[in-house]
A and B are shown apart, each in its own frame.
Chain A
Amino acid sequence: MIFNTGAALLDAIVLAVVSRTVKGTYGYKITQDVRGAIEISESTLYPVLRRLLKEDCLEVYDLAIDGRNRRYYRITEKGRTQLNLYRSEWAIYSGKISHILEDLTDEQK
C-alpha cells in the first residue's frame, strides 16, 4: 500500500477489529486482522493496544485456553464512543477523498 496510515486511523482500525467480537479477541488475532487491511509489522500493535488500554478504550481479561492463559481484549463504552467518532470522521474524510479522486462531473453523479 502506498498510502500512510496515521496513528488515529490505526487506533480506529484496531478498535473496529476488537469490537467485531462481543467476547473480545487476542493479540495475535488482532494483528492478523489488522494486517488484512493495512501493512503493519507483527510487533507494532503492542504499544497501540497498551495505549488504548490506558485510555480505557479497551479492557483485558484472561481466559484459560489449552492449559494456558490467553489475554483477551474487549472494547469498552468509551472505546465504542471513540470508534463512533472515528467512523463519522472517516465517512466524511473518505467521502471527500473519493469525491476528488474519482473525479465525477456533476452530471455523472
Chain B
Amino acid sequence: MNRNEFMERLEYLLSDIPQEEKADAIAYYRDYLEEAGENAEKAMEDFGSPERIASIIRSELSGNLKEGGEFTERGYEDERFREPNYQVAKRLDLPEGREGGGEEKREGTWQQAPHDGGETKRPVRTSRPLKIILWIVLIFVSAPIWLGAGGLLTGILAGGFGLLFGLIVLLGVLTVALLLAGAGLCVVGILAMVRWFASGLLVFGAGVVVVGLGILSLLLSILFYGKLIPWLVRSIVNGISGLIHGRRKRK
C-alpha cells in the first residue's frame, strides 16, 4: 500500500467523524509522512494499517478509549494501543476517567496524572478447595447425563461409592462402639472386683483390651478420614477435570 492509498483508506475509514476532526487528523498524518521524506516507508510500516490509525484517532475523539479497551487486573488496557513502553491506558486508570463526562474527566486525570503511580494489583487466584467443591457439585448435578452414559461404569462407580460409604460409616461406628464398650467393661470390671476379684479383673482386662482396639481403630479412622478420603476426592476430581480439559496440564 503506497502513501496515497494509505491516506485514502484512512479518510474513508474516518468518513463518519466530524469534518474538522477528520481534516485535522488527516492533515497530521499526511504531513507526518511528507516530513518523513525517504523514511516514509518505515513510518508507514510503523503506523501499521489505516484501520489502526483510524481507531487511534476515533478513540481519542470519544474522550476515552472505551471501544476495545477493558479493565484488567493491571488497569485499563487497549490492545490496539499496546506498544512497547507506552501505556496510553494508564491515564485512564483513575476512577474519574471512567465515570465522569468528557471535560470533567479530563480535568480530573490531568491534576492527578503526575501522582499516578501506576498501581498494579495481584491477579486474583481461585482457591483450590472451592474448585474441588464446585467440581463435586457439578458431578452430582450432571449425574443424570453421565449416569445414562454407561450402565456398567455407573454400576462399578456406584458399587465403589457404596463400599466406600459403608467403610466410612462402619469404621466410625466401630470406633465409637469399641471405645464405649471398652470403657463400660472397665467400669463394670472395677465394680465387680470388689465382690469377685478374679472375674472382675478378667472383665477389667477385657475392657482394657477393647479400649486398646478402640484407640487403634480411632487412629485408623484419623488416617482414613484425614488422608485417604481427601486423597480420593482429589484424585477423582483431578481425573474428571483431566478428562474434561483433555491433556491440559494443571498448575
Contact = CB atoms under 8 A, between A and B. Distances in A.
Interface in A26-54: 26-29, 31, 38-44, 46-47, 49-51, 54
Given A7-B116, A43-B47, A43-B52, A55 B106 contact: yes
Given A6-B90, A7-B116, A29-B35, A71 B56 contact: no
B106 A54 contact: yes
Interface of A: 1, 3-8, 10-11, 26-29, 31, 38-44, 46-47, 49-51, 54-55, 68, 70-71, 82, 85-86, 89
A39 B83 CA distance: 9
Contact of B114 (A3, A31, A39, A86): A86
A13 B69 CA distance: 25
A40 B47 CA distance: 11
B27 A10 contact: no
A86 B115 CA distance: 10
Given A3-B85, A43-B46, A28 B36 contact: yes
B118 A4 contact: yes
B85 A40 contact: yes
Contact of A46 (B57, B85, B114): B57
A6 B87 contact: yes
B46 A42 contact: yes
Interface in B83-113: 83-91, 106, 110, 113
A38 to B, nearest CB: 6
A40 B60 contact: no
Contact of A44 (B86, B106, B114): B86
A24 B86 CA distance: 24
Residue of B25, B86, B110 most packed against chain A (CB within 10 A): B86
9 contacts: A1-B85, A5-B85, A5-B86, A38-B85, A39-B85, A41-B47, A42-B36, A43-B46, A44-B86
